[in-house]
Structure 1
Amino acid sequence: MQITLKQYQLELKHTFSISRESRDFQDTLIVCLSHNGKTGYGESTSNPYYNITMESMTAEIRGIQKKIEAFELTSPEAFHDFLTNEGLSNFSICALDLAANDLYGKLKGQPLYRIWGYSPEKYPITNYTIGIATIEKMVEKMKEKPWPLYKIKLGTNHDVAIVKALREHTDATFRVDANCAWTPEETIANSFELKKLGVEFIEQPLKADNLEGMKKVMAESALPIIADESCIVESDVEKCEGHFHGINIKLTKCGGLTPARRMIKKAKTLGLKVMVGCMTESTVGISAIAQLLPQLDYVDMDGAMLLKGDIASGVIIEDNGQVIFPELPGSGIALLS
């Protein structure tokens, strides 16, 4: 295989704020793996919360470039095992794993969902995320993008007031994500108010390691609770049983499609709802997520919708939430620049 790395700075339509950070741009690394005239594409974004930069990922991958190029791609799973044994960060592994899966599908001439035996006839629609801002600005962003399902980022001292204000302007279903900003008591109290306002579930209200607090929340919350920061890698899935009603899998954090598929299977055996989320990726990362759609209860794959301009073609999300899968095999990705 031949490998090429491309660095991009993605500009967002609006400043994107959550409880712990704000940004106007998102750095992302695109991995291109080529073999026999076909090229597969993968992506990982930088993330200050996990101390991941484009430079750190690039250095890791360059460090084993010769080994990657000498690797015979018999299966994405074997390639993922090889990368794990090389000790790369999960973010770097994700970009490589997504590229290998895309390449593998293109070499086989089939979309990944078909190779895996998934039927795309039924799937959840993605939410559209409204980042933290003034209430006026959040209302403005919501009106700018009429959508049947919104994720509302929270973590302020007036969270319920935000949701009340947004509810005045839409009948859409809401989800809320506190990104670790609440206490158990706040979560329980907020859950009853938020349920009245048409909120479907609460994502990661407590700090990631506060599993004891989550027991109390699970027992008393009026709404289901979905783990995000508490569910990073495969071994975390079992820890979430009894503490959360479901999990949100991020490909960048777990290391790509290969471990994500195992996490989905494990979560289902434990009776946990399954969501896959994005990290403001371009259509490269979003098209990879789309291959998992038939296996999911919920999905947050609006990353490319939040950008001023995209760098790739692939899956298309229409205004009613319907997904148009690409004609290209693999994840169906073609880089535009």
Structure 2
Amino acid sequence: MNIRHRIIELPFHYPFTISKGTKTHQRIFQVELEWRGTRGYGEAPEIAYYNIPAATMQSDLENKLKFVENFALTTPDRFWHFLHHLFPSNPFLVCALDIAAWDLYGKLMRKPLYQLFSADPSEMPVTDYTIGIADSEAMIQKIVDNPWPVYKIKVGTAGDIERLRDLRTRTNAVLRVDANGGWTMYDAENNLGHLSEMGIELVEQPLSKEDWEGIKKLKAISPLPLFADESCVTESDVGKCSEGFHGINIKLTKCSGITPAKRMITEARSLGLKIMIGCMNESAIGTAAIAHLGPLVDYLDADGPLLLKDDPVEGLKYIEAKLQLVPAPGLGVNVDPFY
């Protein structure tokens, strides 16, 4: 295989604020795998609190580029296993290469990925639209400007309940809440009752990912479903999350790609957990990878391209808040070759 790669930086429509900070642009590492003229594409965004900059993904790949290029790709699963051991400390890079391998493999097999996964496009869940933390007026304006049936509302700072009440007076849409670990146990115990009264659908990562005892106690008293995000990074976390959460949010970038995500879905189902697949502000490449797994899960948070002002990748469409899977081979998106 021939491998090319690049780092791009895409601006957000609005400053994107969660309990961990604010950003105005999303830096993304993208890869192209080429074999005899067929090209597959993958990517992973830079997420500050995971401490894997795009430059590190790039340098790690450059340092072992020949090993990857010389690998004889037979199946993406086998390729992922090779990458997992080659880059044990860089799951983001493994994710980008794994997505590209699936795209390439699908094109070689002349099948869209959803067919390879036995996923039915008619079962695609509605994706939510994320509203970052701001004052009530700014958050309401985002809702007015972006009508959507389901919103994910970022929380985790002072004034959460007041802002949510303000939002609820302006929309009857389904609301989900994501604290990104920003609440204390005291906050969570006090907030959950208010959220239930407002008809909030679910709460994502209410407590710090280290507070396993707290989340077990919270699950026992919570009137709302609790979903793990930062507490569920890799396959090894799924079983542990069943003790403290009602569901998990699988993210391709943090778990290291499509290959492990498929296994996580299977394990979560066996444990009776509800499943969300979430995004980390990927462009259409990473979001298309999420979309092909969408029919296999209960909830979808795949609004990355909706939040970005510019996206050079074409072919990904939302119709009535659902990602549309097309019968084109691989990911089904159009990417200009890297040169």
Shorter-chain TM-score: which interval?
Answer: over 0.9
Matched, 1:115 2:116: yes
Shift of the 336–133 alpha-carbon distance from structure 1 to 2, 3 Å rule, reads farther
Secondary structure of the equivalent of 1:14?
strand
1:2 aligns with 2
- 2: distance between equivalents of 1:82 and 1:107? 20
Mind listing any 5+ residue stretches in structure 1 that lack a counterpart?
none
What residue identity is the alignment partner of 2:254? Answer: K
- 2: distance between equivalents of 1:207 and 1:62? 35
How far residue 336 of structure 1 moved from its aligned partner, in angstroms, is 4.7
Secondary structure of the equivalent of 2:176?
strand
- 2: distance between equivalents of 1:10 and 1:87? 26
1:316 aligns with 317
2:132 aligns with 131
User: Conserved in 1, the CA contact under 8 Å of 2:2 and 2:34?
Assistant: yes
Secondary structure of the equivalent of 2:134?
coil
Count how many residue pairs are aligned between Structure 1 and Structure 2: 336
Secondary structure of the equivalent of 1:94?
helix
Q: Over residues 298-322 of structure 1, what are the superposed CA-to-partner deviations in whole Å (9 max), with x where a residue is unaligned?
A: 010000100111121233112x213
- 1: distance between equivalents of 2:63 and 2:315? 30
User: Conserved in 2, the CA contact under 8 Å of 1:188 and 1:222?
Assistant: no
User: Conserved in 2, the CA contact under 8 Å of 1:187 and 1:221?
Assistant: no
- 2: distance between equivalents of 1:8 and 1:209? 33
2:285 aligns with 284
- 1: distance between equivalents of 2:175 and 2:111? 35
TM-score of the two chains, using structure 1 as the length reference: 0.98
What residue identity is the alignment partner of 1:19? Answer: S
User: Conserved in 2, the CA contact under 8 Å of 1:214 and 1:243?
Assistant: yes
2:271 aligns with 270
Secondary structure of the equivalent of 1:171?
coil
- 1: distance between equivalents of 2:46 and 2:334? 21
How far residue 124 of structure 1 moved from its aligned partner, in angstroms, is 0.9
User: Conserved in 1, the CA contact under 8 Å of 2:117 and 2:293?
Assistant: no
Q: Over residues 207-239 of structure 1, what are the superposed CA-to-partner deviations in whole Å (9 max), with x where a residue is unaligned?
A: 001010011100111111000000000000001
User: Conserved in 2, the CA contact under 8 Å of 1:76 and 1:100?
Assistant: yes
TM-score of the two chains, using structure 2 as the length reference: 0.97
2:41 aligns with 41
- 2: distance between equivalents of 1:146 and 1:117? 32
1:218-297 aligned within 5 A: 218-297=219-298
Mind listing any 5+ residue stretches in structure 2 that lack a counterpart?
none
What residue identity is the alignment partner of 1:164? Answer: R
> Which stretch of structure 1 is more off in the superposition, 143-152 or 112-121?
112-121
Matched, 1:325 2:318: no
- 1: distance between equivalents of 2:251 and 2:330? 20
1:59 aligns with 59
Q: Over residues 55-109 of structure 1, what are the superposed CA-to-partner deviations in whole Å (9 max), with x where a residue is unaligned?
A: 1000111112111111111000000010011134100000000000000001100
Shift of the 199–248 alpha-carbon distance from structure 1 to 2, 3 Å rule, reads same
- 2: distance between equivalents of 1:78 and 1:313? 29
- 2: distance between equivalents of 1:137 and 1:121? 35
> Which stretch of structure 1 is more off in the superposition, 105-114 or 182-191?
182-191
How far residue 327 of structure 1 moved from its aligned partner, in angstroms, is 4.1
- 1: distance between equivalents of 2:244 and 2:201? 18
1:102 aligns with 103
User: Conserved in 2, the CA contact under 8 Å of 1:200 and 1:224?
Assistant: yes
Matched, 1:16 2:16: yes
- 1: distance between equivalents of 2:325 and 2:125? 14
| Aligned structure 1 segments of 4 or more residues deviating by more than 2 angstroms | none
> Which stretch of structure 1 is more off in the superposition, 7-16 or 308-317?
308-317
- 1: distance between equivalents of 2:232 and 2:19? 18
Secondary structure of the equivalent of 1:199?
coil
User: Conserved in 2, the CA contact under 8 Å of 1:178 and 1:204?
Assistant: yes
Q: Tell me how large the CA RMSD over aligned residues is.
A: 1.1
Secondary structure of the equivalent of 1:22?
strand
What residue identity is the alignment partner of 1:43? Answer: E
Secondary structure of the equivalent of 1:25?
strand
- 2: distance between equivalents of 1:20 and 1:116? 35
Quick one: percent identity of the two aligned structures?
Answer: 45
How far residue 157 of structure 1 moved from its aligned partner, in angstroms, is 1.0
